Amino acid sequence: MRMQVSEQGDEVFIELSGVAGRHQRILQALTEGPIARATAPDEQALTATDISVRAGANEMHIRVKTRASNHFQALSIYHYLRHVLLERDPAPAADALATPH
């Protein structure tokens, strides 16, 4: 699997290739994991309306729109997805992950 995460303004872009049927797992990690949860009383949790997804058979392009009350950092999302998709995965893909930009 190959992953690139970048930030531009109030959006975080996640590009994945070699997802090999892990589309649902990736979306679930984003919408149900710690990144999605509010960490302070004045923050709102991440919802499906904050995420835009374009997916092919073996790739995904995800855009996460931040709000004034939440700012999602590209590096935090990169580390979290890497943990969920590679470190927990018993058979990770041989491709190295790209570093976040």
CATH number at residue 12: 3.30.70
Q: What's CA 50's distance to the chain center, in Å?
A: 12
The answer to whether residues 82 and 74 touch, using CB atoms and an 8 Å cutoff, is no
Q: Note the pTM of the prediction, 2 decimals.
A: 0.73
Location of structure tokens 């649902």: 24
For residue 78, the enclosing domain spans 2-87
Q: Does a structural domain hold residue 71?
A: yes
**Helices and strands in the chain: count of H runs, count of E runs:** 2, 4
Q: What is the pLDDT along the chain (101 residues), one digit of tens a residue?
A: 899 999 888 888 999 999 888 899 888 888 877 777 655 555 666 766 788 999 999 999 999 887 655 566 788 888 888 888 877 654 444 344 444 55
- Number of domains the chain is built from: 1
